[in-house]
Amino acid sequence: MEERVFVDQLPNGVRVLTEEIPHVRSASIGIWVGAGSVHEPPELAGICHALEHMLFKGTPTRSARRIAEILDAVGGQLNAFTDKEFTCYHARVLSEDLPLAIGLLGDMLRNSLLRATDLRCEKRVILEEIRQLEDEPDELVYEILLEQTWPGHPLGRPVIGTRRSVRSLKRETLVEFLARHYAANRVLVATAGNVRHAAVLDQTAEWLGDLTPSADPGALPAPVAVAFQRRLRRDTEQAHLCLGAPAYSQTDPERYPMAVLDVLLGGSSSSRLFQEVREKRGLAYAVGSCLLSFHAGGVLAVYAGTNPESADQVLALIRQECDRVLGEGVTDREVAQARSQLKGSMLLALEGTDSRMSRIARSYLYFGRVLPIEEIVRDIDRVTVDDVNRVARAVLPAAKASVVVLGPGVRWAARRSGPGGRCADRRAVERAQGDEEVHDGKAHTRRIPHDHSGVCLQGFPQSD
């Protein structure tokens, strides 16, 4: 596959990536800021997500309504998301309208008014997002899993913050946070489509060329995982099960064998868990696995939704399949099929300019370079049965596994010892009962096919 990827850096440190794709009519652009929930102090939890919302509320020359109308008028799309490690403002337009999109995003990033009246309104919107998540137990179980697996670590905190922290946000705090974190050396502009790199570079310099740099926040320490078991009462029709085990970071050399294990264990309709739990026994409609991977660490998560009376049986079946992988190993056929699925899903995703924009940005942010597609395909093809069995032995043992069960008729299990202790357990129960909130559920579907469109074997969706 021919790739025309160009990488430059403005004098102030803003990085500019372009993939030229002459045969398409569209262009996608993303302004990626190295500020996510892991960069927030606990008392400001959710400020990145709130700031993302506020950048759509108006500039001196564009009202909030005008911001919404500009790209609509040319058939384009404008959106943003906040993740644990990044915030991204992105647009997709016809290639001739790319200067319009760059100008709009640049104005939002540089000149947003951040009015106190708008913040009061937007905090109410975010609180509604929190309530939405509380009505989605199949998403809530993932938040509880991460919070309890990594107690006290920034990766364990929800992107959206808490009711208390959101309500306490003030305009002055947002202005200070933006000035400190939306700095030149933490901004990356990625574009893919029928565009010219030189033109993108000039247009980016016009809007972002005078951004000033700031101190680098430094790398997070690796989280220390704690195994636990929780059964939390919730008035739902189904029991929602989430099992997790510490896995590998986004940049770990074992990420490819880990991705193959994920696919064959629960990543498709032909996977072991789907066949055993749904196809053979009809015990669940939704069952599968995904990788939640970040710079500092990762988790392999398995989800199933089932009749509360079947919860223990489904848990036992999931454990049985993990033990079978450990005891018998995986087969040549399974590994070959999973490798093909990984490559196919990655290449199919690259049909869209938005996916290609995201691929080059994430690759550069994680690896400091854009990994060529051929290199990724080669590394996937190199994964052997021995490689998959090795990561399985490291990840799947029962002693490392954690379990969250959320649903009716379940009881709060015995408290875990170790970091987090009783307070962490109480927070999980409060979240399950709706007295606290967790990460915005709007864009979350954990059981979707994993994102392999680049190198990011990360299945953790973002917060709009």
State yes or no: pLDDT of 340 exceeds 50: yes
Confidence at residue 133, expressed as pLDDT on a 0 to 100 scale: 86
User: Given a cut of 60, is residue 427 above it in pLDDT?
Assistant: no
Q: Is the pLDDT of residue 419 over 90?
A: no
Angle of helix 385-395 relative to helix 332-349, nearest 10 degrees? 90
The pLDDT value given to residue 218? 87
Say what the pLDDT of residue 1 is: 64
Region 101-118: mean pLDDT is 98
Structure tokens at 283: 């015990």
Query: Under a CB-based contact definition with an 8 Å cutoff, are residues 293 and 247 in contact?
Result: yes
- pLDDT in the model for residue 197: 98
As a whole number of angstroms, the distance between CA 212 and CA 245 comes to 41
Structure tokens at 216: 């680098």
Give the SS3 label for residue 433: helix
Write out the residue limits of the CATH 3.30.830.10 domain(s) in the chain: 5-139+146-208, 229-433
User: pLDDT by residue (tens digit) across 17-29?
Assistant: 999 999 999 999 9
Pick the CATH number of 5-139+146-208 from 3.30.830.10, 3.30.465.10, 1.10.8.190, 3.40.50.11540: 3.30.830.10
Partners of 16 in beta bridges: 8, 189
Q: Which CATH class is domain 229-433?
A: alpha beta
Catalytic residue status for 52:
yes
Tell me which of 40, 52, 147, 254 is the catalytic residue.
52
Give me the percent of the chain exceeding a pLDDT of 90. Answer: 85
CA 43 to chain centre: 22
Segment 202-221, tens digit of pLDDT: 999 999 999 999 988 888 99
- Residue type for 6, please? F
Judge whether residue 361 has pLDDT over 80.
yes
Q: How far apart are the first and last CA of the chain?
A: 32
Which structure tokens are listed for 440?
A: 């915005």
Joined tokens for residue 145:
């899993």
Rounded mean pLDDT, 170-188: 97
User: Which tokens belong to 358?
Assistant: 């995201």
Mean residue pLDDT across the chain: 89
